[in-house]
Amino acid sequence: MNAQSKPPSIWWKQLCKKLLSRFQKDPDDKQELTEILRDAEKRNLIKPDTLAMLEGVLLVSEMRVRDIMVPRSQMVVVLENMKFEEYLPVIVESGHSRFPMMDDKHEHVVGILLAKDMLACIADGGTENFNVRDIVRPPIFVPESKRLNALLDEFRRSRNHMAIVIDEYGGVAGLVTIEDVLEQIVGEIGDEHDLEDEEFVRKHRKDRFTVKAQMPLDEFNEYFNTSITDEENETIGGVIVDAFGHLPKRGEKIEYADLEFEVMRADRRRILTLLIRPLGTEEALESE
């Protein structure tokens, strides 16, 4: 078995063994391991990008599906009773490759429609007798509380790229893709359909938001109904760095303006992405 074919778990253990061999004491917990990795980066034993990915691997084991899912209100879906010609505009305009298919009442997800399957129908010229149930794939369902490392393993074993997220009552809460999980490790995976810097906030649910640190402070105040003022900083990222009193690292949290801010991504010079929860929510209490 060559290096490229080694499972991630073996690769991770070998890398940690090499790094720890340069230090006298093995880490007692994840925090000590993180500090060792950061020290290794300072000694130029690993590159900054490698450090960011390794921290991402550790963070994924702690995060849950609800932290990154696309909420139901933002899902691009198709309906099982649509005609063939009605599917194409949805596929073309969204630029997505997979679509949850819901029943006529918009209550249940009955399958996953792949754009490539629609293209195959067009190529075969069988649109006249088209029946979407002939090509729709069965959906997989995961709870909001599922940990991301377990979800990634499930994606790998099932060879699925999308899962429907259900809440505690069995209702559709949103969706999550393998790309969403991988982005927590390698950073944002952009394509021609992604929004650029004008999209500063991504709402995962009513009390969880991912915010780009360069979001202008006035726009932040308007969106979150806050009244943060700062004469020295024009972005929420600058405000939060000052609130920490130092350049925070990935995973650090702080309470500010009745919100909990958690650093999701950062480099040596600035923070890049924040996870925000209003204080007093059940999720914020669980994270303390």
Residue 89, domain CATH: 3.90.1280.20
Give the range of the structural domain holding residue 27, as residue numbers without chain letter. 20-60
Q: Among residues 60, 92, 112, which one ends one of the domains?
A: 60
Non-local CB neighbours of 143 within 8 Å, separated by 6+ positions = 65, 165, 166, 167, 168
The two beta strands, 109-114 and 78-79, are unpaired
Q: Binning pLDDT at 50, 70 and 90, where does residue 102 land?
A: very high
Same domain for 204 and 251? yes
- Conformation bin of residue 159: beta by default, left when phi > 0, alpha when psi is -120 to 50: left
Out of 103, 126, 141, pick the residue that ends a domain: 141
Q: How far apart are CA 283 and CA 288, in angstroms?
A: 9
The answer to the question of residue 211 being in a domain is yes
The values of phi and psi at residue 100, to 5°, are -65, 135
Q: pLDDT tens digits for 160-197?
A: 999 999 998 889 999 999 988 888 877 665 543 343 44
Indicate whether 87 belongs to any domain.
yes
Largest Cα span, the chain: 71
Domain holding 214: CATH number? 3.30.465.10
Fill in the amino acid letter for 7.
Answer: P
Residue 180 lies in a domain: no
Output the CA torsion 204→209→215→221 (10° steps): 120
Q: In this predicted model, what pLDDT tens digit does every residue of 121-172 receive, in sequence order?
A: 777 766 666 778 888 899 999 999 999 999 999 999 988 999 999 998 889 9
Indicate if 281 and 223 belong to the same structural domain: yes
Distance CA 183, CA 197 (A): 17
Confidence grade of residue 113 (pLDDT, cut at 50, 70, 90):
very high
Helix, strand, coil % (nearest 5) of the chain? Answer: 40, 20, 40
- Determine, yes or no, domain membership for 34: yes
- In tens, the pLDDT along 193-226 reads 343 445 788 876 667 888 889 899 999 999 999 9
Which pLDDT band holds residue 255 (cuts at 50, 70, 90)? very high
Helix axis angle, 148-158 to 48-60, nearest 10°: 90
Please enumerate in sequence order all residues whose Cβ is within 8 A of that of 122, keeping only pairs 6 or more positions apart, or say none. none
Q: Within this chain, do residues 205 and 255 fall inside the same structural domain, yes or no? A: yes
Same domain, 39 and 98: no
Residue 129 lies in a domain: yes
176 falls within a domain: no
